[in-house]
Amino acid sequence: MTLAVPQDLKRVMDAHKEVKWSEIARQAMWNHARKLQIVEKILSKSKLTENETIEIGREINKAVAKRHGL
């Protein structure tokens, strides 16, 4: 797999050759995949409609924005 990264990130990565960047990317992808699996499991048991979940998501976003003064 090939990943495109912004030039400023590439400079940091190049400055730290001792870091195993592919391992960090692999771990981040696994973490995200596990979260997706959890969400899929929760959704498989949910009785909410798609529109209801979208509305809940909007309400959560508004609350988070308000809490952070956005």
Tens of pLDDT along 27-55?
999 999 999 999 888 888 888 888 998 99
Q: What is the pLDDT of residue 45?
A: 86
The domains of the chain are located at 24-70
| Block residue for tokens 């952070």 | 68
Query: Considering the chain, what percentage of its residues have pLDDT values greater than 70?
Result: 100
Q: Token pair for residue 33? A: 């995949």
Q: Is 69's pLDDT higher than 90?
A: no
| The amino acid at 60 | I
